[in-house]
Structure 1
Amino acid sequence: MLSVTWSFVPFYRRCNNHSRGNIIGQVREGSPPISLQHTCTTSSSVISSAQFALGETNIVRVNPEGVQRAAEYISRKIVAEQYTPRTWRAQPLHICPPEPYSPSNPLTTQCLNWIFLISALNFSFWSEKEGTIERYGVEWRKGWDTTLERSVHTGYWSLVAALNRALEENIPITDPAFYSSEYICPDSLISHVFRAAPHSTEQIPLLKERIAIMREVGFILCTEFGGSYFGFLEAFQKRHRGRGTAFDLAQMVTDAFPSFRDEQWLNGQRILFWKRPQILVAETWAAFYPKVSTDPHPIFPSGPSIGGLTMFADYRVPQILHHLCILEYPSSLVKELRTGTCLAPGSREEISLRAASIIAVEHVRQEILRFRDRPAKNDVDKSTSEDISSVLIDFYLWDLAKKIERGEEQIQGVETADMVPAHRTRSIWY
């Protein structure tokens, strides 16, 4: 990780007039038109819509027995590994904000802009050439703390490495005033930022869509929020008078940025997944999580109520949930996954996988809290809903899935199913 000292990055402070790119065409045909003004939702709206979708699709099943067994395993692992929100700062490619928190420090704004762009582009990294050197990857340092040791980063980490590499090359790629403008940041430069490692035969998926999203979100930040994610957070604090929660922030993100509006329509009901809005909020929460957990959070001074967020419904966490026997798939779906069949965005199978994952992690969270509250288990931990959130469980499960993928870890001491491939859906939403 790097505690930011970006003196090498020249930051542009002008915004250019241009039109927003339209990248919302992936919403299902026949869906009602999208409005920039959403009706008011609550944190339970994501859960209730997922519960509706799970019942309506009737494909993926949440296994109560698997939930109970896996919850105890996950609980013990989180304690044993001292896995906390501060673990975020230990990731070698992450850029960490300066401590103590200082809103006037330009490094705070620069770190927030980095977090924002990462979340805006955090989608669709699966590869047709999985497990080979030909898959898309980005060659860069192993981490900010190493200078000579290089690595080819794949998957989500290819995005992080590409942006970090650009910053090191004095390209201010995380500045909204820069990446929103096709004049000072042409498409060809963005393509260069995401250039692949020498042995890769693939390019980053959905490059055109990523460029359009950069133009859109950068334009909105520049024209409505002072040109930065910090300015957006200032508007959030003003709107909620310093008492806004994590879910309030996710709601404001979906209201402001169409490309974050991860929703589908199913049998006349709007299904909210909100993977990237919620992960943006969660990354912000974790990056600025105080050293002393009882200290006020600088972004959420009245308390984040992080328990109001759900897990982030992607393709990696459902895979590990199935491996842990928390989710059960019908044989027809397993066959599709094993043969690499692509599931269309908004298909019943895809909606069922994502909805089931949201509900499953909620059940795991509730079971962990019950497990830790039992007198016989007091040697493990005593936790509140803020300590054990669906966000923290998601973070842990995603890291676990990547360790298993790299051959660094195997699950022992709890029943598992055969690891089936993650589902393939090419989409801007996740």
Structure 2
Amino acid sequence: MKATDLIKTNNEGVNSAAKLILDAVKDGSINHVAYSAMEVHPKSNDIKYLADWIFFMDTVNFSFWPDEGQKFDVTWNGKTYTGYFAACAAVNKALESGKNVINAKWMATATLDQVNELFTTDSGHPIPLLEERVKAINDSGRVLLEKWNGTFLSCVEAANGSAQALLKIVVDNFESFRDVAQFRGKTVCILKRAQILVADVHGALEEQHSKGFKDIDTLTMFADYRVPQALAYLGVLEYSPRLLSKLGPGKRLEVGSEEEVVMRGASIWACELIVREMGRLRGEDENYKDVRKVPATEVDMFVWVYRRQHAKEIEEKIPFHRTRTIYY
């Protein structure tokens, strides 16, 4: 069976999504997806603090969707957050209370009870995959202490301004970031969390310190479970009836299953097509000739935030795929 039997891209959807993003760049509204525009993200003159905060968050940046009947919600500064933003809020609350959870020594020795307390939710429900998060935190903390002077900033400095160099450092050194799949006898490197870590560092350093990576446009989008849902809603991706029958509440796709790998791979390809279409429009359409180049990482962030902004209508039309995994 061909992958296109499960999912395919739609050229009209690609064109309309490309125009939607270019229009957002043109009118400045895309700035709301910038790293520092997220209120839970740190704003600091301390580059070490930024690097360590981002590294900790992306070490635990996976599988926030709750089991049926549960919630993952955290209130910080009078506002209640869900999902990834709830985890950010929980970390910020801990730091403000004097618990230096982004410190490599704390990470290396953190216990199940400590991590559970860190991510305590308003509703009292535990964070999904708690034991897996403890292992990822412990492993990452030990590697920082053993190889990188106890700080992720050493990794960033060793990359010498290259996104690809930092990506290699992360994948080579930190086990939980090695997101690969087997598909028809071939190894497919998806590397969602490793790439979003690099992109987050780039975003924070570029926006707050003018020290981003020169080759950030070589990264792909970050293949997860929400971006494909939004791409399908926007008409960029088309799900087959067989694939749709496997999605929705109470249904899960196994890690490494054909459906799961195809959905993630199709998301990467779809965002690449959007990038190419934006390039064509910038070269041929007078409306966009002065619009800057937009990399796949920004396409991902735009679509991810778009999904959150239109959550109700998207949920009513397109289900997201549920896969319990540490990789996204």
* 1:77 maps to 2:24: yes
Of 53, 56, 63, 1:124 maps to: 63
* TM-align CA RMSD: 2.3
Residue aligned with 2:30, SS: coil
CA contact (8 A) 1:57 1:351 kept: no
Runs of 4+ in 1 over 3 A off after TM superposition: 54-58
Tell me the distance in 2 between the aligned counterparts of 1:90 and 1:279: 16
Q: How many residues align?
A: 328
CA contact (8 A) 1:85 1:392 kept: no
Of 131, 138, 149, 1:208 maps to: 131
Per the TM alignment, residue 246 of structure 1 is displaced from its structure 2 partner at its CA by 1.1
Per the TM alignment, residue 375 of structure 1 is displaced from its structure 2 partner at its CA by 4.6
2:262 is matched with 352
1:194 is matched with 119
Per-residue displacement from partner, 1:219-263 (whole Å, max 9, x unpaired)?
Answer: 0011000000011223333xxxxxx52122112211111110000
Residue aligned with 2:324, SS: coil
1:281 is matched with 198
What is the TM-score of this pair, normalised by structure 2?
0.93
Per the TM alignment, residue 290 of structure 1 is displaced from its structure 2 partner at its CA by 4.5
Per the TM alignment, residue 187 of structure 1 is displaced from its structure 2 partner at its CA by 2.5
Matches within 5 A, 1:130-279: 134-141=70-77, 150-181=78-109, 185-197=110-122, 200=123, 202-237=125-160, 244-279=161-196
CA contact (8 A) 2:275 2:296 kept: yes
What is the TM-score of this pair, normalised by structure 1?
0.72
Residue aligned with 2:235, SS: coil
2:236 is matched with 326
Cα pair distance change 1:82/1:152, threshold 3 Å: closer
Per the TM alignment, residue 64 of structure 1 is displaced from its structure 2 partner at its CA by 1.8
1:337 is matched with 247
Per the TM alignment, residue 84 of structure 1 is displaced from its structure 2 partner at its CA by 4.3
Residue aligned with 1:61, SS: strand
Identity, % of aligned pairs? Answer: 32
Tell me the distance in 1 between the aligned counterparts of 2:157 and 2:89: 28
Tell me the distance in 1 between the aligned counterparts of 2:283 and 2:196: 28
AA of the residue aligned to 1:214: I
CA contact (8 A) 1:318 1:353 kept: yes
CA contact (8 A) 2:31 2:37 kept: no
Residue aligned with 1:74, SS: helix
Cα pair distance change 1:288/1:85, threshold 3 Å: farther
Per-residue displacement from partner, 1:126-155 (whole Å, max 9, x unpaired)?
Answer: 12347xxx41211222xxxxxxxx222111
1:108 is matched with 47
AA of the residue aligned to 2:296: S
CA contact (8 A) 2:63 2:324 kept: yes
Residue aligned with 2:66, SS: coil
CA contact (8 A) 1:225 1:235 kept: no
* 1:317 maps to 2:227: yes
Per the TM alignment, residue 271 of structure 1 is displaced from its structure 2 partner at its CA by 0.4
Per-residue displacement from partner, 1:308-365 (whole Å, max 9, x unpaired)?
Answer: 0000000110000000110010112212213431000000000010000000000001
CA contact (8 A) 2:203 2:212 kept: no
CA contact (8 A) 2:50 2:204 kept: no
CA contact (8 A) 2:15 2:277 kept: yes
Tell me the distance in 2 between the aligned counterparts of 1:329 and 1:281: 30
Per-residue displacement from partner, 1:281-301 (whole Å, max 9, x unpaired)?
Answer: 00001101157xxxx95254x
Tell me the distance in 1 between the aligned counterparts of 2:33 and 2:16: 26
Per-residue displacement from partner, 1:30-77 (whole Å, max 9, x unpaired)?
Answer: xxxxxxxxxxxxxxxxxxxxxxxx955742111122211221122212
Of structures 1 and 2, the larger Rg is shown by 1
More helix by share: 2
Cα pair distance change 1:77/1:233, threshold 3 Å: closer
Per the TM alignment, residue 89 of structure 1 is displaced from its structure 2 partner at its CA by 1.1
**Structure 2: gaps spanning 5 or more residues:** none
AA of the residue aligned to 1:79: K
1:404 is matched with 310
CA contact (8 A) 1:261 1:274 kept: yes
Residue aligned with 2:6, SS: coil
